[in-house]
Structure 1
Amino acid sequence: MNLCETLLELLIVAIAVASLLSNVLVLLCFASSAEIRAQVPGVFVLNLSMCNILAATVTMPSTVLGVARGGKPFGDFFCWTMSAVDTFLTTNAMLSMAALGIDRWVAVVFPLTYSSKMRYKKAFAMLAYAWLHSLAFSLIPVLLSWADYSPTYASCTPVHPGHAHTAHVAFTVFTAVLHSASFVLTLVVLCLAYLKVLQVARFHCKRIDVVTVQTLLLLVDIHPSVKQRCLLEQKKRRQRATKKICVFIGSFVLCFGPYVITRLAELVPSVRINRHWGIASKCLLYSKAAMDPFVYSLLRQQYRKALIGLTNRILGHDFYSSSGHSSSSDTDNDSNQQRVC
């Protein structure tokens, strides 16, 4: 094994540890917060976190063994299982992201009827489709004997069955449909949903800006620094919405895009994929599992509140009571300034 493969091994191990820890935190927040459990998006986040935890504990270690041994980690049955699990978890995670995008679209575009449009019944129906969709595409390669160890990706995955024309056409159709029904479908949903969310958010920001400017013009006695702070806050609000959309869509394309493009490119007989690039694209795909908790949950106020509550219970309430008192006074000062805006 050369230095490059050793570094890739260490990278996968680091991604697995980060994915496991961050997604376990999401589960702890979900279990400890009734507020999070009461909201429909929590179901999609929970499903996504479970997929990421399984990836960190099952498929990532299998890939590490594949890189270390330079071949199939264990027997054929193990390889078939890992191939099915890998395809299932990857597809299910993508569809969970699409469900979160749809949920945000409904919440922003139909805020008054959101509670009636997005109920737990509909959420579970969407997850049921995601599971059946993922299960079907994960079992097809196993049933058709297309699941095997791939040296290009150092993992068990659907591989080209042979040089027979019929088998080649069938595998090509399967691969194209698989990635179209997972990566492309999710990307289209994310783009349509979040771009609509951004459009509505900018519209509301413009309305708020007009009201703010008119209010500031009426308040002639207000200090100029407060006026400047209010206008700056309005500008930050517009930029914040754009950044969030870029993170949602950009992280998805950056992590899944190289792997999907590589899988489609290798269908061309004349194309030979470099082993190191294949493993690196797999690492990028795995890295999404470590990013998801921060993109979709841990940085949100409700999850941060749940984490603080967990920390209070673990370290003791008295440790945070004094610091919480001082921080609350600072928060009150900030909120008083923001109230002027």
Structure 2
Amino acid sequence: MDGIYSSAGGDGQDVTNDTSWAEESNSKLSSRVVTATLLLLLILSTLLGNTLVCVAVAKFRHLRSKVTNSFVVSLAVSDLLVAVLVMPWRAATDVLGFWPFGGAFCDVWVAFDIMCSTASILNLCIISLERYWAICSPFRYERRMTRRGAFVMIGGAWLLSLLISFVPVQLQWHKDRGTLKQPGFNASGEEESCAPRLSRPYAISSSLISFYIPVAIMLVTYTRIFRIARRQIRRISSLERALGHAQSCHSPREASPKSSFKKETKVLKTLSVIMGVFVCCWLPFFVLNCVVPFCEPGLHGPGELPCVGQGVFNTFVWFGWANSSLNPIIYAFNAEFRRAFAALLGCAGSAVETLTLSNELVSYHHDTAFQGELVTLSYPQLLPHAVLGVEDTEGSSEKVSRVSSPSLGKVPPPASNAFH
């Protein structure tokens, strides 16, 4: 009887184990399907957005003619390479649960990952510098920012990205010495993961070059840009109010401090979106990138920092790469690019070979002989050249002065050094 009951109990236990195993397998399969779907959508959106930017600039002459678009194309190329050379291999690894491509390709992939991600961030940095120079010294910018100068800046960003990626990786400087001869392999002889433990010097130095120094530069430049834009908005608003009061044949225009505040708020929102998206995407990864080399693997004891789980680390890696899918929306979604995208996708019947003033932060539109309208950028026209090209605002102020001169006598335009 004991044997019977024991046998029956054993069979029941086997059935229970089989059921639990089946449920666990179904759960893992569902999780992998969801993961694969989300990652595929992210990769495709990154490919589509950045490809559209490159094709639009290549096809339409008025986009090619602007030096500032060279920086946007360089950014799009770096993000496109992230989607082609980096994302698919990690997506396959995350779905399968192990790295199936071999140890030799792992080093190549790591180098491409560092190079493309760094190039994307450095391109964002030089875009902020280019916009700051254009706004701070517009006349000097027009003289000196040639296509050759732009290519030198872009080449410098790519060269630096190459130097901190392929050289250290090929020389094995990036790996922690304790793990150089300890690759992890599964039962099939395939490497379990392609996530080498970085050496402390390389983790700190590469993070400084790839993120912390560029983000500091971007914070400074965009803060200065906001201050300059606010000063210019207030100056032009005061000219507009003077013009409205001087025109007795027209009702005074509504140009109050409230209107100026709204314009400043739009600029602040735009800059907040740009910096907010970038920092939210990349900051968590680079914090962990500097912390993980200083913590001990496995259980941590007193005085030792706990290590971050590989799943958490991988999630923040994808957050950083997701920035490459958002950059085309932020940096190439002005009116000119939207019309080009619509033409490429067959959504617009009219030609887009026209030059507009959508580049300007504040542009002047002459409605009548004695009346003008100052129009600020709309919120969707996000940076850089789509929003903060204030280099023409001096000309806008001069136009206001010329229009108002019959009634006011003379309203002096802003001095050429008003931005400093």
TM-score after normalising by structure 2: 0.67
Please say if residues 123 and 157 of structure 2, whose CA atoms lie closer than 8 Å, have aligned partners that are also in contact.
Answer: yes
Count, aligned residues: 310
Could you tell me how far 1:274 is from its partner in structure 2? 2.1
Distance 1:129 1:155, change over 3 A: farther
Residues in 2 aligned to 1:301 and 1:228: alpha-carbon distance in whole angstroms: 27
Could you tell me how far 1:304 is from its partner in structure 2? 2.1
Partner of 1:329: none
Q: Which amino acid is the alignment partner of residue 135 of structure 2?
A: V
Residues in 1 aligned to 2:341 and 2:260: alpha-carbon distance in whole angstroms: 29
Q: Which has more helix, going by share of residues?
A: 1
Could you tell me how far 1:29 is from its partner in structure 2? 1.2
Match of 1:179 among 207, 211, 222: 207
Residues in 2 aligned to 1:150 and 1:245: alpha-carbon distance in whole angstroms: 44
1:243 equivalent to 2:243? Answer no
Distance 1:186 1:5, change over 3 A: farther
Please say if residues 79 and 324 of structure 2, whose CA atoms lie closer than 8 Å, have aligned partners that are also in contact.
Answer: yes
Please say if residues 281 and 322 of structure 2, whose CA atoms lie closer than 8 Å, have aligned partners that are also in contact.
Answer: yes
Match of 1:86 among 102, 110, 113: 113
1:171-250 aligned at under 5 Å gives the runs: 171-219=199-247, 222=250, 227-228=253-254, 234-250=260-276
Residues in 2 aligned to 1:309 and 1:197: alpha-carbon distance in whole angstroms: 32
After TM superposition, the runs of 4+ consecutive aligned structure 1 residues lying more than 3 A away are 1-9, 145-151, 154-158, 218-224, 227-236, 308-311, 314-317, 334-341
- Give RMSD over aligned pairs: 2.9
The SS at the match of 1:48 is helix
Distance 1:233 1:92, change over 3 A: same
Please say if residues 136 and 228 of structure 2, whose CA atoms lie closer than 8 Å, have aligned partners that are also in contact.
Answer: yes
Residues in 2 aligned to 1:245 and 1:195: alpha-carbon distance in whole angstroms: 8
Partner of 1:97: 124
Q: Which amino acid is the alignment partner of residue 325 of structure 2?
A: A
Please say if residues 105 and 193 of structure 1, whose CA atoms lie closer than 8 Å, have aligned partners that are also in contact.
Answer: yes
Could you tell me how far 1:112 is from its partner in structure 2? 1.3
Residues in 2 aligned to 1:240 and 1:221: alpha-carbon distance in whole angstroms: 32
Residues in 2 aligned to 1:208 and 1:43: alpha-carbon distance in whole angstroms: 30
Could you tell me how far 1:293 is from its partner in structure 2? 0.4
Q: Cα deviations across residues 40-69 of structure 1 (Å, max 9, x unaligned)?
A: 221111111111112112211111111122
1:307 equivalent to 2:346? Answer no
Distance 1:17 1:233, change over 3 A: farther
Partner of 1:273: 308
Partner of 1:141: 169
Residues in 1 aligned to 2:48 and 2:91: alpha-carbon distance in whole angstroms: 18
Please say if residues 174 and 202 of structure 2, whose CA atoms lie closer than 8 Å, have aligned partners that are also in contact.
Answer: no
Residues in 1 aligned to 2:234 and 2:63: alpha-carbon distance in whole angstroms: 30
Could you tell me how far 1:173 is from its partner in structure 2? 0.8
Partner of 2:4: none
Distance 1:115 1:83, change over 3 A: same
Structure index of larger Rg: 2
Match of 1:292 among 319, 327, 334: 327
Bigger Cα displacement from structure 2, 112-121 vs 247-256: 112-121
Identity %: 21
TM-score after normalising by structure 1: 0.81
Q: Which amino acid is the alignment partner of residue 172 of structure 2?
A: L
Residues in 2 aligned to 1:155 and 1:223: alpha-carbon distance in whole angstroms: 71
Could you tell me how far 1:231 is from its partner in structure 2? 7.0
Please say if residues 150 and 159 of structure 1, whose CA atoms lie closer than 8 Å, have aligned partners that are also in contact.
Answer: no
Q: Cα deviations across residues 217-244 of structure 1 (Å, max 9, x unaligned)?
A: 33456457xx348876544322221122
Match of 1:56 among 61, 83, 102: 83
Residues in 1 aligned to 2:310 and 2:60: alpha-carbon distance in whole angstroms: 45
Please say if residues 200 and 294 of structure 2, whose CA atoms lie closer than 8 Å, have aligned partners that are also in contact.
Answer: no
Please say if residues 52 and 289 of structure 1, whose CA atoms lie closer than 8 Å, have aligned partners that are also in contact.
Answer: yes
Please say if residues 8 and 279 of structure 1, whose CA atoms lie closer than 8 Å, have aligned partners that are also in contact.
Answer: no
Could you tell me how far 1:260 is from its partner in structure 2? 0.6
Distance 1:308 1:3, change over 3 A: closer
Q: Which amino acid is the alignment partner of residue 280 of structure 2?
A: L
Q: Which amino acid is the alignment partner of residue 108 of structure 1?
A: I
Could you tell me how far 1:87 is from its partner in structure 2? 0.5
Q: Which amino acid is the alignment partner of residue 116 of structure 1?
A: R
Match of 1:253 among 270, 279, 285: 279
Partner of 1:156: 194
Runs of 5+ consecutive residues of structure 1 not aligned to the other structure: 161-170, 322-333
